[in-house]
């Protein structure tokens, strides 16, 4: 190792990195992006982790890269580095954009986040058109259709690879249902379909595994709590934030399912907001095989 600069040493390490998938997180310095970067660095299916943002990626990258797990971490700052951040990626996770404040709906984020997601998806269609794309940025009910239009225009649209992340609704539903039933949440699987905003979030309480039943009061309580889970956190944080930690957990659970699907595992089926066969709703959260 004598005579090598620290950059050369890092490059040696990168070349000798473990086999696995290459994952980019766009918006890696944010409230979701940071814990998501931490958790993805711990995922044994990831060999290379690219952290992209328009702010603070050198610090986040330095911090996360010190973790003694296999994935090689590289940081990218600003739009001039988007090409390098995306080239060769198998999975791109997008938690960039603006989150809402108390009193706002997710739709209030549309004007800013739509433009950001559009620009990033134009980059994806140029630099890693075959990657699976996980969209977290709100309003998911609109950002996923925007991404689809960008990919269609570029001729790179693959409806199987564009997935709106609604896993937090499932994670919340599993937690709240388990509380009512007195079970460990790990034993509960609640399908949640529809969309990712208020009444469009539809927990299928009759389809839970294991089979169970509820009183009408329990059904009303659970439906309302699951539909308003995001608002519950926004109000509890009282202007100082929104769901970031539970979202990062949910995003990693979903990303891991995508990577297992890419690896060829059978029966990896999760809920996601995707192009739909329901004619009146061209996009709909449904149970979907992850590849
Ligand atoms: N799908 C879901 O279930 C959930 C979605 N969200 C959404 O996720 C999004 C991100 O939330 P947070 O991380 O809490 O927000 P945040 O404001 O903490 O972080 C957003 C990050 O995006 C970056 N960013 C801004 N413009 C960018 C651009 N042009 N390119 C790349 N990065 C850019 C910012 O620098 C920042 O680091 C919000 O839209 C929020 O509503 C939040 C919770 C749950
Ligand atoms: O409520 C928000 O704005 C963030 C979000 O989507 C959620 O927590 O489900």
In this structure, the residue with its CA closest to atom 8 of ligand 2 is: 230
b/e per residue 183-221 (b: at least 16 CB within 10 A): eebeebebbbbbbbbeebbbbebeebeeeeebeeeeeee
The answer to whether the CB of 234 is under 6 A from ligand 2 is yes
Consult the annotation and say whether 113 binds a ligand. Answer: yes
SS3 assignment for 202-231: EECHHHCECCCCCCHHHHHHHHHHHHCHHH
Residue 141 annotated as binding?
no
Annotated binding-site residue? 135: no
Q: Which domains does the chain have, with CATH numbers?
A: 9-165 (3.40.50.720)
CA dihedral 256, 258, 260, 266 (to 10 degrees): 140
* Ligand 2 nearest atom to the CA of residue 197, by list position: 6
Higher-pLDDT residue of 14, 217: 217
Let me know: does 129 contact 83? Beta carbons within 8 Å.
no
Is the pLDDT assigned to residue 13 strictly greater than 50?
A: no
What's the gap in Å between 50 CA and the centre of ligand 2?
A: 25
Given this model, what pLDDT does residue 10 score?
Answer: 54
CA dist 70 and 45 (Å) reads 9
CA 175 – CA 188 distance, rounded (Å): 8
Per-residue pLDDT tens over the stretch 68-78: 999 999 999 99
Q: For 229-283, write each residue's pLDDT tens digit.
A: 999 999 999 888 889 999 999 999 999 999 999 999 999 999 999 988 777 888 8
End-to-end CA distance of the chain: 42
Q: CA 109, 112, 117 angle in degrees (round to 5)?
A: 100
* Cα–Cα distance list, 187 to 103, 179, 208 (Å): 35, 12, 10
pLDDT surpassing 60 at residue 1:
no
Ligand nearest to the CA of 104: 2
> What is the structure's pLDDT at 284?
87
Q: What are phi and psi of 55, to 5 degrees?
A: -150, 145
Residues paired with 53 in a beta bridge: 77
Q: Whose CA is nearest to atom 3 of ligand 2?
A: 100
Q: CA triplet 266, 271, 276: central angle to 5 degrees?
A: 100
pLDDT of 103 reads 85
Question: Residue range 137-148: average pLDDT?
Answer: 96
* pLDDT value of position 16: 43
Q: pLDDT at residue 11 above 60?
A: no
The finding on whether 193 has its CB within 6 A of some atom of ligand 2 is no
Of the bound ligands, which one is closest to the alpha carbon of residue 249?
1
Protein residue whose Cα sits closest to atom 9 of ligand 1: 137
Per-residue pLDDT at 12? 46
Classify 244 as helix, strand or coil. coil
**Active site annotation includes 196:** yes
Nearest to 168 by CA among 197, 145, 131, 206: 197
Q: Is the CB of 233 under 6 A from ligand 2?
A: yes
Asked if residue 210 has a cis previous peptide bond (ω within 30° of 0), the answer is yes
Q: Is the CB of 106 under 6 A from ligand 2?
A: yes
pLDDT in tens, 179-222: 999 999 999 999 999 999 999 999 999 999 999 999 999 999 99
pLDDT tens for residues 89-128?
A: 999 999 999 888 788 888 888 989 999 999 999 999 999 9
147 neighbors 117 (Cβ within 8 angstroms): yes
pTM of this prediction? 0.94
CA of 154 to the centre of ligand 2 (A): 30
User: In this predicted structure, what is the pLDDT of residue 226?
Assistant: 98
Q: Is 273 in the pocket of ligand 2 (CB under 6 A)?
A: no
Q: What average pLDDT score do residues 26-41 get?
A: 98
Residue nearest to atom 11 of ligand 1 (CA): 99
Find out whether the beta carbon of 100 lies less than 6 Å from any atom of ligand 2: yes
- Residues shown for the chain: 291
ipTM exceeds 0.90, yes or no:
yes
């Amino acid at each position: 190792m004598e005579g090598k600069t620290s950059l050369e040493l890092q490059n040696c390490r990168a070349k000798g990195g473990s086999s696995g998938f290459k994952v980019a997180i766009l918006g890696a310095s944010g409230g979701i992006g940071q814990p998501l970067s931490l958790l993805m660095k711990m995922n044994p299916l990831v060999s290379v982790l690219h952290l992209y943002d328009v702010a603070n990626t050198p610090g986040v990258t330095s911090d996360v890269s010190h973790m003694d797990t296999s994935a090689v971490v590289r940081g990218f700052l600003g739009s001039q580095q988007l090409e390098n951040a995306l080239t060769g990626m198998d999975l791109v996770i997008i938690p960039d954009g603006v989150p809402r404040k108390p009193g706002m709906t997710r739709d209030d984020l549309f004007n800013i986040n739509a433009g950001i997601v559009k620009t990033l998806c134009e980059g994806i269609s140029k630099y890693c058109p075959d990657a699976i794309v996980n969209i977290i940025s709100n309003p998911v009910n609109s950002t996923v259709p925007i991404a689809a239009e960008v990919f269609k225009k570029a001729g790179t649209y693959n409806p199987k690879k564009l997935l709106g992340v609604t896993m937090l609704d499932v994670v919340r539903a599993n937690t709240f249902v388990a509380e009512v039933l007195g079970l460990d949440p790990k034993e509960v699987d609640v399908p949640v379909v529809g969309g990712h905003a208020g009444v469009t979030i539809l927990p299928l309480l009759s389809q839970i595994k294991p089979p169970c039943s509820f009183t009408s009061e329990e059904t009303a309580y659970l439906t309302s709590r699951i539909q308003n889970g995001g608002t519950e956190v926004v109000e509890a944080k009282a202007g100082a934030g929104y769901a970031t930690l539970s979202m990062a957990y949910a995003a990693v659970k979903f990303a891991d399912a995508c990577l297992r699907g890419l690896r060829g595992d059978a029966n990896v089926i999760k809920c996601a907001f995707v192009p739909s066969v329901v004619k009146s709703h061209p996009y709909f959260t449904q149970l979907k095989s992850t590849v």
